[in-house]
Structure 1
Amino acid sequence: MALLDMMRAVLEDSGLLALWHTLAPSLALDERQLIFMVATPIFIGITFWEYRKIRHDPKLMDTAEAIRNFALGAGYQVTELLFAGIIAFPVYALCYHYRLFELELNWLTGFLTFLGVDFCFYWMHRASHRMRWFWAAHVVHHSSERMNFSTAMRQNATNIFNCMWVFYLPMALIGFNPVWIGVAYAFSLVYQFFVHTTLVGRLPGWIERVFNTPSHHRVHHGRNPEYIDRNYGGTLIIWDRLFGTFAPENDANPPEYGITRQIHSTNLIVLWTHEYVDMFRDMSRPGGLLSRLGHLWRPPEWQRPTISNSEQPGTLHERNHPEPDRH
């Protein structure tokens, strides 16, 4: 935890910690939020550097959208700060109370925490593309038609309510301290910020084989048929290689960014909620309760068959409204 102590000292020396306590005296800054608070000025600086490189190409950078992306990220951080301690922390504390093993923090358990968090992130990320309830929150991250560092900040303020954090609970049950889990997760997100760019080409082969890289993540954001639902890895790409979801970037078929049914709204609330609206509209259509609820856990493209009034019972016809957003 020496690194976290150093970060806290930097915030104290810079006056940012005093400012935080002035603005939000009742909110404690936990280790995960501490990391994000230190990293945010770095993110802004790196984004500005990239902006100067690509600002003249509207296909790569849009100033208004970049500002909007940071606003989306700010909304995500605010709801995480306000509600994580109320919603997620009690569940983690309960799991950790009934932990299977007593684990001390050392180099080995630190590495296992990083590895376990990255493994859980892979499955959480995969579920956020293949289960519509999770996709409803994650879609905002994919709805930009540009790939740059500001895209990394494009997050949904509803994430904490979607309960994606449940994917990490097994680690607390095993005996990994929730504080360690939060720190590893925060550092993973910091790393992932730097893979959202078109300015970095392919890296040396061994790095591309082991780590998530800008090339791999450009594929993940592509809406080309061969790129959809590929490269879910956070820090490591090995999980995609192991579980059959890896796809390399194809120079002959560069990624087209965005989602298959693109939304062009500039309203933050619409960007955060449009997929929820579509999902609940689908659930409201006639049908059995279990079939309606299927929209929550089925893939985003799944559509319930409907029976035409002119057909005999049992004859199924696909509905004719547009299918849900897919990236």
Structure 2
Amino acid sequence: MKKLLHFLFHSEVPDINERYRKVTSAFVVIFIIGYSIGFLQLLHLGPYLGPGLGDNVSFQPLITSLQALHSQNPSLWYALIALLCVTVSFRLLVMLAGYFLFEREEGSAYPIKWIIVFFLCNLFSTLTIPLLLFALATLFWVSGLDFNLGWQWIDHNVRLANQLVVNHVPTLINAPAPIAVLMIAIISGFFHYWFHRLGHTQRILWLLFHRPHHMTPALMQSTTMAVFTALPLFFFIILPYNLIFGACTKLFSSEPLYTEVIIFNCLILIPEIFGHHTALYQIASRNQLIRLASFISGGGVYHYMHHSSEPEHCGRSGAVNLVNIGGGPLFIWDIVFGTYCPLSAKTPRAGLSGQPELHMNPIRLTLAGLAQICNELYRNPSWREKWRIVIGSSSYTPTLSTDFAIKSNKIRQEQATPNPATIKNFTFSAPADAIASVAAKPVTGPQS
């Protein structure tokens, strides 16, 4: 057993010969088609509005909304069906282009090894969810509690958040649906901004929750590691996530706005797909319509700057990943808190700071943060250091530390966030200046 565990954690996926390219391409195409169709299950949720009013991840809310809309307003139903088709088809074509144009834009085909490793990372973290639920359920059962309390932990948390929102959060302004959606996006965007920012600035959130999303050295949607399946913190954020975003929804609408949210998400998800494609950065950043749509949505191609491993692109030494954090339309909170960054003329290199060489082992990469925290807590005897290991900033490295994701014999520190002194140097971008930079012609030199 010891040898098996050593093999699983220390072996690496080797380089794959290009003769397997056709098989790999077929796999990528199948994955993209399935991902595009499966994404329809999330259109009633959205990154800002949150599943706080009893929503669930399935096709049923979408089908129910469409059926209700068809009987109430057939004309709008046809328009929404057309918008759904445009959104799904556009995202599918962009994802295909992000893979097949990679060699033309980057000089070589997307490494097969990276596709295998990061796909398996996503698969491993996703399959671990039912395993952890089973372990939690078993623990409850051994403790004399109901087995289903652990097995249905996610559903229980969603229902609890729903009950708390419905029973205790008032509707301050029962605004018309379009205005309500916009207000919800702005207010909940504030919380999304700080959740995301804390995922970079707080050590335990960075290592256990958000760093895997930033590991991929060159981005495609197919190889970008999902955020909310990150181990093991997704178990602990279900309730606060649902509660906060659900409360933001209830403040401006007494009832779920499924149809309106679906329309809103269809629109913002069109430019959003450009945020995780290295090969499409130049195409998207030079297209005025894509730039404008990305800026209005508060993401899109601008989000790619957030994945840069090179802080000099925003003229802020050390500010890796702490730009274009998102949260609400027009990058409102990035502008307010000084983390808005215009597009770079050069395609930024993605990945962790400095693009360190990673262990090409999907199990090791997925568990690297958890292994590092446990290793540090075990090896550092000082209780003060143990405390800082857990609650310290992401720039802190204890006396004894091993990074299990990065190939290095030395202690490495992913500078995922600048020091407070660096943050103070962030220049405030006025909304008018930011909007003007979007409408301007593509730059021909580095921006600051």
Equivalent residue runs for 1:235-246 within 5 Å: 236=329, 237-246=331-340
CA shift at 1:130, angstroms?
0.7
Equivalent residue runs for 1:224-263 within 5 Å: 224-226=310-312, 227-228=319-320, 229-234=322-327, 236=329, 237-251=331-345, 254-260=347-353, 262=356
* Contact 1:120 1:168 (C-alpha < 8 Å) held by counterparts: no
User: 1:84 pairs with 150, 154, 157, which one?
Assistant: 154
Match of 1:150 in 2: 222
The letter for the 2-side match of 1:65 is W
Instruction: Calculate the TM-score normalised by the size of structure 2.
Output: 0.52
Match of 1:282 in 2: 376
Quickly say closer, same or farther: Cα 1:92–1:67, change in 2 above 3 A.
farther
The letter for the 2-side match of 1:225 is P
CA shift at 1:268, angstroms?
2.8
Equivalent residue runs for 1:96-175 within 5 Å: 96-101=166-171, 106-135=177-206, 136-155=208-227, 156-158=229-231, 160-163=234-237, 166-167=240-241, 169-173=243-247, 175=250
CA shift at 1:265, angstroms?
3.0
Q: CA–CA distance in 2 between the matches of 1:67 and 1:180?
A: 39
The letter for the 2-side match of 1:108 is I
> After alignment, is 197-206 or 124-133 more displaced?
197-206
* Contact 2:326 2:334 (C-alpha < 8 Å) held by counterparts: yes
* Contact 1:75 1:157 (C-alpha < 8 Å) held by counterparts: no
Match of 1:217 in 2: 303
Of structures 1 and 2, the larger Rg is shown by 2
Q: CA–CA distance in 1 between the matches of 2:198 and 2:261?
A: 20
* Contact 2:373 2:389 (C-alpha < 8 Å) held by counterparts: yes
Q: Is 2:401 the partner of 1:299? A: no
Match of 1:193 in 2: 273
Q: CA–CA distance in 1 between the matches of 2:108 and 2:189?
A: 32
Q: Percent identity between the aligned chains?
A: 18
Match of 1:49 in 2: 97
Instruction: Calculate the TM-score normalised by the size of structure 1.
Output: 0.68
* Contact 2:196 2:325 (C-alpha < 8 Å) held by counterparts: yes
Q: CA–CA distance in 2 between the matches of 1:41 and 1:76?
A: 28
List runs of 5+ in structure 1 lacking aligned partners: 1-13, 18-28, 307-319
Q: CA–CA distance in 2 between the matches of 1:239 and 1:49?
A: 31
Match of 1:94 in 2: 164
The letter for the 1-side match of 2:215 is S
Greater share of helix residues, 1 or 2? 2
Q: CA–CA distance in 1 between the matches of 2:62 and 2:396?
A: 36
Q: Is 2:414 the partner of 1:325? A: yes
List runs of 5+ in structure 2 lacking aligned partners: 1-36, 41-53, 64-83, 134-151, 313-318, 401-408, 417-448
Provide the secondary structure at the position in 2 that maps to 1:48: helix
Match of 2:76 in 1: none
Provide the secondary structure at the position in 1 that maps to 2:311: coil
The letter for the 2-side match of 1:259 is L
Q: CA–CA distance in 1 between the matches of 2:299 and 2:161?
A: 33
Count residues with an aligned counterpart.
Answer: 285
* Contact 1:121 1:167 (C-alpha < 8 Å) held by counterparts: no
Quickly say closer, same or farther: Cα 1:305–1:31, change in 2 above 3 A.
closer
The one-character-per-residue Cα deviations of 1:249-288 (angstroms, maximum 9, x if unpaired) are 3336x42221137352333322222012112322331112
The letter for the 2-side match of 1:219 is M
